[in-house]
Structure 1
């Protein structure tokens, strides 16, 4: 069964049985979305764009292999965003890609009761390092696994997409309404890049190489979700579940009428533990088709 993106909401009461300090509606009412957007733009302007096509060799480091890179821009932008976002919403926490790399225990905040900012300072670091403008800064606000608001900013392309739970999504201030793929059209699908997949993942994703589907390796995950929200791509099929790569885009796709699910037919859980691969698509029918093909691997 495929359904519109939803995630575990978790317990909404404290240990004494009373009302939780935070509810999703309370957090959204306290949210100054314009201030968040300003913080994202300022971090990119201060720490990312001055280094675009200007990186020195010592400012680029491998994390887990030659294709998994981190730059000084990633680290400094995440530090600036962490300070800015937590000041905008007192009591909130940050789960950032670089913070988790330094201390995996940081991920535990996704299962806690405090509002959490999920941050990928430079999504598409490889593109950034090679001077390709296809990278983005991703910020999502979540509470007990529920995605509340997201910002997808591609500074080199001057694109800012904002989504808010139940209120739709906009790109540069204009509503996003991608609609469904045309009947009978070949589905354009971005899949996990071959450089980041093992043999078994490649075998499963190869099931999309069939009539009526045109898979291609993905670039920045955040921008692939934006392509769906703009109607430029029909679906993604990904074999990894890092929250910072997917949270912003999943809310963006949902708020433009899309759907998602895992190969087990379950909603994607932002805190992890998902059956993989999973998909997000322009509509539920497309999501069902993609997952049906992938499920044939079993």
Structure 2
């Protein structure tokens, strides 16, 4: 059923993502009122009216396209954490981050995107990464490749003899233990910087503009679309114990995704505690 759906409705999903952004996100870009921005768990965890309405829009559109499917969305899970359990269920799951990079969105920075992925039984099947202000749409299908605005993406490998470019969890979002692990990236031959929108960092890997990411949190909506995009562009990922990232959680953190396996292993080696 899912294969048939993907064979006939990839562009329908893409259009649903574009419509949600056009209706609820871009009209509010640089137009937000103060009372349309709310702190969820602290000053670095924001939600806006655009996040909420875009997720509601996508939830209706995506479940209509694929009857019997369910949605695990960032804002719905914040309201009811039990809904995250659908990732381990039998129904096809749409994993939605309506505005990935809310901080950028709030500050009028165009570096944000809408992320949608389709999974079943924990397996990623397709993903859509849409940066509406930048005008970029990346689509990946399991076994079918990754494409940016219709052009195939190839991650390739880092250039020998150059510093490894790594985007890492922003210090504002890390625990003391995670900060200590990420300090391993302060090493010769590594050019590490705090990440922006996770979805756009994954896209940068898939297009060969970034070598790797090192992330310390595992919310599926931040990673699902990008992990498939990187994999279909020829890249890979692994958690701290060397196993693949699993959508329902319980991963050994931090984890890394990168342009090739040697890059990921190098990053994980720097993140692992010493003897």
Q: Same fold by TM (over 0.5)?
A: yes
Residue from 233, 240, 251 that aligns with 2:210: 233
CA distance in 2, matches of 1:216, 1:241: 19
Unaligned ranges ≥5, structure 1: 1-25
TM-score by length of 1: 0.90
- Mapped partners of 2:175, 2:78: distance in 1: 21
Are the counterparts in 2 of residues 120 and 245 from structure 1 also a CA contact under 8 Å? yes
Is the counterpart of residue 102 in structure 1 residue 85 in structure 2?
no
Q: 1:172 aligns with which of 139, 149, 159?
A: 149
* 1:29 pairs with 2:4: yes
SS in 2 for 1:119: strand
Equivalent residue for 1:294? 271
Q: Hey, what's the Cα distance between the residues in 2 that align with 1:213 and 1:59?
A: 39
Q: Give the RMSD, CA atoms, in angstroms.
A: 0.8
Cα deviation digits, residues 164-217 of structure 1 (max 9, x gap): 000101001111012111122210000000111122111100101101111100
- Three-state SS of the structure 2 residue aligned to 1:108 is helix
Give the equivalent residue in structure 2 for 1:154.
131
1:215 aligns with 2:185: no
Q: Match for residue 30 of structure 2?
A: 53
Identify which range, 35-44 or 191-200, moves more after superposition. 191-200
User: Which residue is equivalent to 1:39?
Assistant: 16
Q: TM-score, normalised by structure 2?
A: 0.98
Where do 5+ consecutive residues of structure 2 fail to align?
A: none
What is the alpha-carbon distance in structure 2 between the residues aligned to residue 179 and residue 267 of structure 1? 20
Higher RCO (CA < 8 A, seq sep 6+): 1
Displacement of 1:297 after TM fit? 4.6
Match of 1:112 among 89, 92, 108: 89
Partner of 1:271: 248
* CA contact 1:236–1:280 (8 Å) conserved in 2: yes
Q: Distance in 1 between matches of 2:139 and 2:271?
A: 30
Q: Secondary structure at the match of 1:118?
A: strand
